[in-house]
Amino acid sequence: MNLRKNPLRESHSEVDAGPLNDILFILLMFFLMISTLANPNVIKMSVPRAKSDTKTKQSVVVSLDKNKNVYVGTKMIAMDSLESALSKYINQGDSIKPAVVINADSSTQWGEVVQVMKVARKLGATTSATVSGSDK
C-alpha cells in the first residue's frame, strides 16, 4: 500500500478574505460619510440681493357677463361708477403698479372690455382680458 502523499496538495495555500472585507467596509463607510458632507453647489455664483422688501399687489378682477353686468370682485356695479370702484382698489398708496384682470363672457361685446381697459389704464393699472363661455 502506497502511503505517500501528493506533494502538490501539501503546498496549496489560501488567502484569508476576512481582513479584506473589513478594509472594503471601512472604505465604503468613509466615502458614504464624506459624500453627505460634500456641498452639491460646486459653482460659486453671486446672487443679486434686493435693497428693499419686494411686495406684490393683489390683482383686481373685473367680470363682464352676457347681460352687460359689471362686477368688481364679487360686487355688482354700474359701468358709470367703474372708475370710482376701481380707484378704491388701485390707489392704496403702494408704489407697485397694480393689475386688473378682466373676465368677459364670450357674448360680451369687445367695446365694453376696451372701455374697462381704458378706465384701468387711466388709473395707472396694467390690464389683461380673458374670454370665457361656450359659443353655441
First-to-last CA distance in the chain? 111
Q: Say if residue 16's pLDDT is above 70.
A: yes
Map residue 75 onto helix, strand or coil. Answer: strand
Is the pTM above the cut of 0.85? no
Closest CA to 126 of 103, 106, 96, 104: 96
pLDDT at residue 97, rounded to an integer: 72
Count, residues in the chain: 136
- 65 bridge partner residues: none
All 3 cell numbers of residue 40? 452639491
Cell of 24: 472594503
pLDDT in tens, 64-119: 888 888 988 888 998 888 888 888 877 765 566 778 888 888 888 888 888 989 98
Q: In the block, which residue shows the cell 463607510?
A: 29
Mean pLDDT of 52-60: 64
